[in-house]
Structure 1
Amino acid sequence: MPTPAFSAVDRVRAAYDRIASADRPEIWITLRPRAEVEAEARALDARADGASLPLAGQLLAVKGNIDVAGLPTTAGCPSYARLPEHDAPAVAMLRAAGALVLGTTNMDQFATGLVGTRSPYGAVRSAHDPERISGGSSSGSAVAVALGLVDLALGTDTAGSGRVPAAFNGVVGLKPSRGLVPTEGVVPACASLDCVSVFARTLPEARLALALMSVPPGREAPHRTPGPWRIAVPPLAALGPLDDGWAEAYEGAAARLAAAGARLVPLDPAAFTEAGALLYEGAFVAERYTAVGEFVDKHAGAADLDPTVAGIIRRARDIPAHRLYADQVRLAALRTAALGALGDADALLLPTTPGHPTLAEVAADPLGVNARLGRFTNSTNLFDLAAVAVPGGEVRGRPFGVMLIGPAGTDERLAELAGLLTPPVRLAVVGAHLTGQPLNGQLLALGARLVRTTTTAPVYRLHALRTDPPKPGLVHTGPAGAAIEAEIWELPAQGLGLLAAALPRPMTLGRVELADGSTATGFLCEPAALDGAEDITSYGGWRAYSDRRPTD
């Protein structure tokens, strides 16, 4: 698919402007100096082979437990930091494809948690609701993607850390089959289970990044019986308590798969949820002590050790070996039961989490809330399965996420299935992207099509900004506003991600209210840019203003 002609330097500058505007310092552990990244971008733009690099100019964030040469690898604990000389292989492969690293991101310390609050660098809040958690442990990476600060981000996923924050922030999270992406250069949580995961706003972007990081598969995907896609869907009663509205959203996702031609088959998820409980409540948590327990013991009482994380790791020290062997036997039996229940289904559809807690709820019960969040994700790596988490709609204006889980080696199959859940997106344009205007070609290059012409709800004012090329700024003012001419375009979600990544200040993307009461993603403007800008609301739209006679 063609992409807009934005240089790598333009993309870097726009990203740092968005980072400053977002004012979310808790996302980052180390943000590279802007001038340093701009220099890399200029070198990339000057390369003769730059156009052939699959990720040329794409912006990348890396979870703080994955090595980036020259940046401290802290795993969310400053006193643990090491300074690597080389990139982790996953990072190196994306950089070799043209990606530019902006920095390392915040996380639940030592990748121990699904909440995103267990960090001395601060709790990472949801991209959509500051009262709610971002999810963890790959919290900063998911929010950086959701806010459009980067195109791609790396996380890790042992118990769901690459999927829970994807669900809470409305982005895609791919958890590959174990061993598909090298884990060298990653501070382990549970080394035998860890996976490097990828976040993106769209499936095509995430799939490309995963393909570039993958080593040659050591096993073939399981044989698929011919016929329609078969999706295992547990009955609601078997899923346990869900937040209000989540059951309906889950049923809606299943209905979309059925409407796309998939055959839905029932499944009892008991083996999956019982095995998930073993990850923290059983002996497998001892592997977390193997990873960083000696450090935690030596630094008891250190100010930068999260007490919840330290407690989990220290308790794992004294688990007797016989419990581990007993749990391995139990896990083997549960895995046999789970795969038997899955049968010839191509994937299992589940809500990514049972609900989305607030920061206050996590503070009041950190262990209980965390355990609930992993109900559907904890068993995936224990069973050696692959998974993809994708947006499944909204509940009360907040993202709702679902995931598809399948046998190891079926990563591409799962991503293809997930594509059935991600329809094209609608974009409302009111200015330079309108038909016949200077930037309309960007939409056409992304495969967009015009759906209809309409107006906004009468709650906006339009201003002529001092930009090149000229463009308007749309701001929500409530009763003092008016209806503004708008076009509704439909484009692949990947295209919206590309537009968002290259959007210069003072422009932003947000929800635009339309005349029929619906909403669509649209171009808005930072209020600070309106100083000295002419109010052109009376023209009814940018086109009428642009076509005005010179004597007007």
Structure 2
Amino acid sequence: MNAVERVRAAYARIAEADRPEVWIALREREDALAEAAAVDAAVAAGEDLPLAGLVAAVKDNVDVAGLPTTAGAPSYAYDPAADATVVARLRAAGAVVLGKTNLDQFATGLVGTRSPHGAVRNAWAPDRISGGSSSGSAVAVALGLVDVALGTDTAGSGRVPAALNGIVGVKPTRGLLPTTGVVPACRSLDCVTVFARDLALARRTVELLTGVDGVDPLARPDAGGRPASALARVAVPAPGHLRDLAPGWAEAFAAAVDRLRRSGVEVVEVDISPLLEAATLLYDGAFVAERTAAVGDHVAAHPELVGTDLDPVVARIVLGGARFTAVDLLRDTERLERLGVAGRAALAGTVALLTPTTTSHPTLTEVAADPVGANARLGRYTNFANLLDLSSLAVPAGTVDGLPFGVMLTGAAFDDRLLADLATRLAAPTLDLVVVGAHLTGQPLNHQLVAAGATFGEAVTTAPHYRLHALDTTPPKPGLVRTPGDGAAIAGELWRLPAAGFATFVAALPHPMAVGAVDLDDGRTVPGFLCEPAALAGARDITATGGWRAALAGGDLRPAGAGLAGSAS
């Protein structure tokens, strides 16, 4: 798909998904199409643009020229003169930025609810939190609105929402991606992070954005890290550090550990108490004063806006840093250094630490009842990474009760590629499935896919040798039949399911639904819903509409004659 086609599909998907809380600012469609046309022209002229044909979203504490930067606070808004360094590099690689995403205000929170623009609802379960602070960016990727998104991560903001939405979140080593053009949360600790639905794209994007820019004084060159051949032994927390996980999560983590072990990696239990103690310093120690230094003047100057424009919890955290003295900071710095020595000693002889990414997946109601406590629990395994200058990434590791479960690898600074290699061994096996009817996004049976652990992959179109029929069912459903030489291209969606979820889902399909090989217009052949020919007696041929949504919009889906009670979607 070229850039123009991808942008058109993305705006259609955004309208279809109907998740306005994801965005703070969305570019005009025609502006994005004009940029996409320029990308296509450059590719046609022979220019190497490794992200051409992809669309992106950017967290609204990162500058995008032409759109205001608000950091989630309208009163803080300013118009940047230029793209942030990472955004400029993203565009230079051919990606088209569609807009700015919602976030926990001033990147302060792991919940995704601390915004005057409203809570960003989870991509899988709208009654649950998305995780934050990079909430909108994570959900935009998880819903397939964009291919890749930029966020930031100080306490886990690029990893917690990745885990809770079933996608990949890469937090590189501090300084690898310059923070020029990023509103600081804790300036010395902040990282720009990358979200994608698969690890290869996330890592490729990180590589393209890496490198000093001569402006950010904290940016540093890539020191290389240990090679993948260094894989030998990975640490996991001793059982006592896994006590407070949500029901079913300990078992899901054990399954991930077992996959890693079966891949040939030795796994050892370690006492991570020093790391967990270090994690508490991020919000409970003097380091929070860096948040006051970043945006405290703005919050202090607008007390009348607290509760409307300014989130009360965020305001309290930001202003609370003023109580610490330079002596407090020096003492906490020494304490952190000693905990770092103890933590490295605990991990000695291992190349990485594997943990659950977070501890639970609370509902919006639960977070509203305990906003600070819920947030603190979510950062249990993430808060220490940037304090101790560690690299980290979060990857999906299956589902529990129909919701995503994720794990995280954390390693030494510059071991980013080593972690990525390890992560490929952790992924739960997945299978793709093409749907064309009642299981499409927003249709009445889509919940069955989600319950089986499926994530949206992309909009697709079949090869031009299929016919689509409206069956006599409740709710209305279509039947797709392969008819070489007498067919047309039919619009659909590709969804990705864990292997276990795929098996459970397919086993429950009623007659005359069937799963078979479906040819796509880009040459791929993937599993998809088909219909047994016997079910088509009396069904109306709706092939000319080009797809189920178009047929629904057209109105009359009554069968041509007496139909059957089966279905295919």
TM-score interval, smaller chain: 0.7 to 0.9
Post-superposition offset of 1:541: 9.1
Deviates more, 1:317-326 or 1:370-379: 317-326
Q: 1:50: how far off? A: 6.0
Amino acid at match of 1:528: L
State the TM-score, normalizing by the size of structure 1. 0.82
Distance, in Å, in 2 between the alignment partners of 1:463 and 1:51 is 43
Find the aligned partners of 2:256 and 2:27 in 1 and give their Cα distance. Answer: 39
Q: Which residue of 1 aligns with 2:489?
A: 470
Match of 2:7 in 1: 12
Alignment RMSD: 3.6
User: CA offsets, 1:498-522, max 9 Å, x none?
Assistant: 99xxxxxxxxx9998999xxxxxxx
Alignment of 1:385-464 (within 5 A): 385-429=390-434, 438=463, 461-463=477-479
The residue type equivalent to 2:16 in the other structure is: S
Find 2:146's aligned residue among 147, 150, 156: 150
Task: Report what 2:359 is aligned to.
Answer: 354
CA, structure 1 residues 332+488, in 2 after alignment: closer, same or farther (shift >3 Å)?
farther
Query: What is residue 291 of structure 1 aligned with on the other side?
Result: 294
* Cα pair distance change 1:487/1:284, threshold 3 Å: same
Equivalent position amino acid for 1:33 in 2: E
CA distance in 1, matches of 2:95, 2:412: 30
Task: Confirm or deny that 1:257 pairs with 2:296.
Answer: no
Bigger shift: residues 14-23 or 148-157: 14-23
Match of 2:35 in 1: 40
Residues 347 and 512 of structure 1: CA distance in aligned 2, closer, same or farther (over 3 Å): farther
Aligned-pair identity (%): 53
Asked whether the equivalents of residues 464 and 472 of structure 1 are also in contact (C-alpha less than 8 Å), the reply is no
Residues 535 and 247 from structure 1, CA distance in 2 versus in 1: closer, same or farther, beyond 3 angstroms?
A: farther
Q: Secondary structure at the match of 1:177?
A: coil
User: Residue 90 and residue 514 in structure 1: after superposition, are their counterparts in 2 closer, same or farther (change >3 A)?
Assistant: farther
| C-alpha deviation, 1:490, in angstroms | 13
SS in 2 for 1:156: strand
Change (3 A) 1:514 1:278: farther
Note if 1:238 corresponds to 2:241.
yes
Residues 59 and 151 in structure 1, CA contact (< 8 A), matched pair in contact too = yes
SS in 2 for 1:126: coil
- Structure 1 residue aligned with 2:18: 23
Query: 1:275 maps to which residue?
Result: 278
Q: 1:247 aligns with which of 229, 250, 254?
A: 250
CA shift in 2, pair 1:530/1:410, >3 Å: farther
**Amino acid corresponding to residue 299 of structure 2 in structure 1:** V
Change (3 A) 1:464 1:226: closer
- In structure 2, the residue matched to 1:126 is 122
Aligned residue type for 1:70: G
**Structure 1 stretches of 5 or more lacking a match?**
1-5, 441-457, 500-508, 516-523, 544-552
Residue 325 of structure 1, aligned match among 302, 317, 330: 330
Q: How do residues 517-536 of structure 1 correspond to structure 2 at under 5 angstroms?
A: 526=549, 528-529=552-553, 531-532=555-556
AA partner of residue 164 (structure 1): V
Note if contact 1:171-1:201 (Cα within 8 Å) is conserved in structure 2.
yes
Q: Would you say the 8 A contact 1:173–1:389 is kept in 2? A: yes
1:323 CA displacement: 1.3
3-state SS, counterpart of residue 161 of structure 1:
coil
Q: In structure 1, what is the Cα distance between the partners aligned to 2:241 and 2:362?
A: 21
Matched letter for residue 35 of structure 1: E
Tell which has more relative contact order, 1 or 2 (C-alpha 8 A, sep 6+): 1
Tell me by how many angstroms 1:459 deviates. Answer: 9.5
Q: 2 CA distance for matches of 1:274 and 1:411?
A: 24
2:346 to 317, 341, 350: 341
SS of residue paired to 1:232: strand
2:434·2:529 contact (CA, 8 Å) conserved in 1? no
- Count of residue pairs the alignment pairs up: 494
- Following superposition, the deviation at residue 254 of structure 1 comes to 0.5
Distance (whole Å) between structure 2 residues aligned to residue 417 and residue 514 of structure 1 = 41
Where does residue 379 of structure 1 map in the other structure?
A: 384
Q: Which amino acid aligns with 1:57?
A: G
CA distance in 1, matches of 2:519, 2:229: 33
Aligned position for 1:201: 197
Name the counterpart of 2:177. Answer: 181
Q: TM-score, normalised by structure 2?
A: 0.80
SS of residue paired to 1:113: coil
Change over 3 Å in CA distance of 1:227–1:335 after alignment to 2: closer
Task: Name the counterpart of 2:502.
Answer: none
- Contact 2:49–2:94 (CA under 8 A) maintained in structure 1: yes
1:181–1:278 distance in 2 versus 1, CA, 3 Å: same
8 Å contact kept, 1:463–1:472: no
1:387 match: secondary structure:
strand
Closer, same or farther in 2 for the Cα pair 1:540/1:417, shift >3 Å?
same
Q: Distance in 1 between matches of 2:567 and 2:511?
A: 10
Q: Which amino acid aligns with 2:24?
A: I
| CA spacing shift, 1:150–1:37, aligned 2, 3 Å | same
CA 1:223–1:212 in 2, change beyond 3 Å: closer, same or farther?
closer
Flag structure 2 segments of 5+ consecutive residues without an equivalent: 213-219, 438-457, 466-473, 482-486, 494-504, 533-546
The offset of 1:66, in angstroms, is 0.1
Match of residue 502 from structure 1: none
